[in-house]
């Protein structure tokens, strides 16, 4: 099986609607700082601001599709930020804003877009939201059933249905299809944002699977058939509940 080093390109429109944001932080001063930064940023709109996660959950349960980005504190009374991430399915992008660095590793297990340490400067804030904007634009334009891969001077078409799973490899990802493996200089977060989330699910820090290609699920693994046999892919603890919830919804 041939392994090729390539780059992925999607043709995306540069014009995207503003991202609707909410802030969740029990510290009034920190909350106001982020609110001010949002109003100063042209492509962001402040939708609401909450002093605790419980109020935010009640609001998101009613209109989850109305929010594109959440600025979330970790240490809060009643419900902390990690509990918040565990509670909601199909979360929008999340940027953590915390005074403690110790939660960063755990937070990134939930695929947060960035982690900001208080006190936050506008420069660092802008770097984080620009990353979020790029992800948002890619997601909003995923309407086709294919991607185009640039190989030498040509663009090669790869159908979503031909992709079996994506696997992380240090600073690269490997896109596994029926006939080839493509090694791409991309992060898992970036490739995930380029694939339709209705078809591709992150099941582990190092794996994204095409749910249409799953042969079976046993214990903490999903099994996918390929030309080389059956591939067992682990389901990470941080991803299991959300993944199984999505699978159940698809079966209803």
> What was the pLDDT predicted at 176?
92
Three-class HEC string of the chain: CCEEEEEEECCCCCCCCCEEEEEECCCHHHHHHHHHHHHCCCCEEEEEEECCHHHHHHHHHHCHHHCCEEEECCCCCCCCHHHHHHHCCCCCEEEEEECCHHHHHHHHCCCCCEEEECCCCHHHHHHHHHHHHHHHHHHHCCCCCEEEEEECCEEEEEEHHHEEEEEEECCEEEEEECCCEEEECCCHHHHHHHCCCCCEEEEECCEEEEHHHEEEEECCEEEEEECCEEEEEECCHHHHHHHHHHHHHHCC
User: pLDDT (tens digit, 9 = 90+) per residue, 41-100?
Assistant: 999 999 999 999 999 998 887 666 679 999 999 999 999 999 999 888 778 999 999 999
pLDDT confidence band for 145 (50 / 70 / 90): confident
Answering whether pTM is above 0.85, one says no
Dig out the tokens for 156 from the structure. Answer: 């090669």
> What was the pLDDT predicted at 195?
84
Going by C-alpha positions, the residue among 76, 126, 86 that lies closest to residue 107 is: 86
Contact (Cβ atoms closer than 8 angstroms) between residue 3 and residue 183: yes
Q: How many CB atoms lie within 10 A of CB 148?
A: 15
Burial pattern 193-217, b for ≥16 Cβ within 10 A else e, equals: bbbeeebbbbbbeebbbbbebbeee
Strand pairing of 19-24 and 69-72? parallel
Going by C-alpha positions, the residue among 8, 7, 12, 15 that lies closest to residue 142 is: 12
Q: Is the pLDDT of residue 250 over 60?
A: no
Going by C-alpha positions, the residue among 115, 113, 114, 54 that lies closest to residue 88 is: 54
Q: Is the pLDDT of residue 7 over 90?
A: no
pLDDT confidence band for 35 (50 / 70 / 90): very high
Average pLDDT over the chain, rounded to an integer? 85
> What was the pLDDT predicted at 150?
59
User: pLDDT (tens digit, 9 = 90+) per residue, 149-188?
Assistant: 655 566 678 888 999 999 998 878 888 998 888 887 788 8
Task: Count the alpha carbons within 13 Å of 150 in the hemisphere toward its beta carbon.
Answer: 7
The residue extents of the domains of the chain are: 19-140, 143-250
End-to-end CA distance of the chain, in Å? 38
Lowest mean pLDDT among 57-71, 125-139, 193-207: 57-71
- CATH of segment(s) 19-140: 3.40.50.2300
Residues 89 and 150: their CA atoms lie apart, in Å, by 35
Share of the chain above pLDDT 90, in %: 53
Residues 101 and 116: their CA atoms lie apart, in Å, by 9
Q: Is the pLDDT of residue 13 over 50?
A: no
Q: Is the pLDDT of residue 220 over 80?
A: yes
Higher-confidence residue of 250 and 191: namely 191
Q: Which residue has the tokens 């490899």?
A: 169
Class of domain 143-250: mainly beta
């Amino acid at each position: 099986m041939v392994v090729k080093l390539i780059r992925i390109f999607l043709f995306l429109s540069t014009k995207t609607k503003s991202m609707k944001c909410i802030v969740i932080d029990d510290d009034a001063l920190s909350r106001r700082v982020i609110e001010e930064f949002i109003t100063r940023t042209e492509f962001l709109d402040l939708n609401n601001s909450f002093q605790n996660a419980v109020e935010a959950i009640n609001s998101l349960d009613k209109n989850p599709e109305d929010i594109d980005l959440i600025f979330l504190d970790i240490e809060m009374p009643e419900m902390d930020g990690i509990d918040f991430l565990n509670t909601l399915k199909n979360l929008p992008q999340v940027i953590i804003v915390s005074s403690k660095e110790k939660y960063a590793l755990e937070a990134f297990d939930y695929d947060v877009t960035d982690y900001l340490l208080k006190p936050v400067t506008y420069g660092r804030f802008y770097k984080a939201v620009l990353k979020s904007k790029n992800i948002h634009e890619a997601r909003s334009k995923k309407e086709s059933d294919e991607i185009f891969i640039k190989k030498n001077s040509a663009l090669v078409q790869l159908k979503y249905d031909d992709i079996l799973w994506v696997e992380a490899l240090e600073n690269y990802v490997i896109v596994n299809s029926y006939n080839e493996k493509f090694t791409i200089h991309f992060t898992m977060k970036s490739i995930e944002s380029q694939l339709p989330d209705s078809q591709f699910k992150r099941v582990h820090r190092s794996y994204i699977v095409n749910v249409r290609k799953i042969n079976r699920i046993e214990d903490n693994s999903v099994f996918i058939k390929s030309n080389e046999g059956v591939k067992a892919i682990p389901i990470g603890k941080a991803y299991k509940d959300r993944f199984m919830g999505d699978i159940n919804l698809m079966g209803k």
